[in-house]
Amino acid sequence: MLLSEIATKLQAQLTGDGQRDITGVNTIADAFGSELCFLTSTKHAKTLGQSAAAGVLVDKPMDDCDMPQLVVANVNAALITVLELFSPKLTAAEGVHPRAIVEPTAELDKTVAVGAGAYIGHGVRIGPGTVIGPNCSVGENTTIGSQCRLDSNVVVYHNCQIGNACIIQSNSTIGAVGFGYSFVDGQHRLIPHNGGVILEDGVEIGSNSCVDRAKFGNTVIGAGTKVDNLVQIAHNVQTGKCCLMAGHVGISGSTKVGNGVVFAGASGSSDHVEIGDGAVLGAQAVATGKIEPGQTVLGLPARDVRKELKSKSVYRNLPELAKEVKQLGKKVKKLEATKNNKN
């Protein structure tokens, strides 16, 4: 595709040679010959000079830059568009594979695709354009909206509600029974989980992640929330819209998460905790009590990041502090001895 054609698709202002043939996109460091690169942060601007790319996406013209430039309003948005242009062409899944099993009471829109070996249970309903991968399993009476994608070997249990435009990647499990036991007569007895799971529109779940069904009501993942791999979301958790949860996050039962909350890797919460809108939990942070809206927290128990970093900073030099205290102790002892001698 010619650089000038890409410029047209992006409604970008083109400087330099538009006749270059572009074959893909890569980073400033790794792009070569026929690849386009992109500048999302001015701090990388100085590395552009060494780049072997055929052109660059920028949000304002760069003066001292030899390569052709595509000037766009938003590099991140333009980058997504360009990457889509160069996405590998895959064979589209179409229709219900003859080796899929669809129970007769399931209602699938005629545009739904179901892969080989997938099992669609009784009373399931699936909306237009949704693609269910090979060897998935969708439980009784679950509904899945339109334009969703369940990749191979995803399991969604019964009575769950998946909204529109949701993506669930391989080997993830939605709607398993949560970890709720009562100790009765000398044994842990499972509390029946009569509730379900609701994934609102635009929720995306990575691979090998789990969202447990609720004991009562529903576990709810708010619209536009994105969940990485190997994440555990326990029964009755409710999250707001547009949250981000990175790998190995674990959110315990009945925790309420606001809108736009960010969980960094391996962070999480105790059960029944409230986390306010826009809060950010750093890596390995564990919220054990209320987190205020907009607060950035770290540590176990999680608290304000500045306080935690100050403690951590002293911690890292604790041996020196201990030595100082020891020396002070000696000096004070000497002062006391002097005083006593004088008396």
- Of 140, 274, 277, 292, which one interacts with a copy of itself (CB under 8 A)? 140
Residues with catalytic function: 235
321 forms part of the interface with a copy of itself (CB under 8 A): yes
80 forms part of the interface with a copy of itself (CB under 8 A): yes
- Helix, strand or coil, per DSSP, at residue 111: coil
- Of 1, 15, 45, 204, which one interacts with a copy of itself (CB under 8 A)? 204
Q: Report, in Å, the least distance between residue 308 CB and a copy of itself.
A: 8
Q: Which is nearer to a copy of itself, 19 or 41 (CB)?
A: 41
- Of 270, 274, 292, 293, which one interacts with a copy of itself (CB under 8 A)? 270
Give the separation between CA 341 and CA 328, rounded to whole angstroms.
Answer: 20
User: Assign residue 200 a region: left if phi > 0, alpha if psi is -120 to 50, beta otherwise?
Assistant: beta
- Of 10, 151, 261, 278, which one interacts with a copy of itself (CB under 8 A)? 151
Contacts of 209 (CB under 8 A, 6+ apart): 172, 173, 227, 228, 229, 230, 231, 232, 233
DSSP-assigned letters across all residues of 172-183: -EEEE--S-EEE
- Taking contact as CB under 8 A, which single stretch among the options 13-21, 52-60, 61-69, 151-159 is the one that binds a copy of itself? 151-159
Instruction: Tokens for 258, please give them.
Output: 């606001």
- Of 17, 83, 109, 294, which one interacts with a copy of itself (CB under 8 A)? 83
In the range 290-309, which residues lie near a copy of itself by CB under 8 A?
Answer: 300, 303, 307
- Taking contact as CB under 8 A, which single stretch among the options 1-9, 11-19, 51-59, 112-120 is the one that binds a copy of itself? 112-120
10 Å Cβ neighbour count for 305? 18
224 forms part of the interface with a copy of itself (CB under 8 A): yes
Strand bridging mode 232-233 / 210-212: parallel
283 forms part of the interface with a copy of itself (CB under 8 A): yes
244 forms part of the interface with a copy of itself (CB under 8 A): yes
DSSP-assigned letters across all residues of 259-283: TT-EE-TT-EE-TT-EE-TT-EE-T
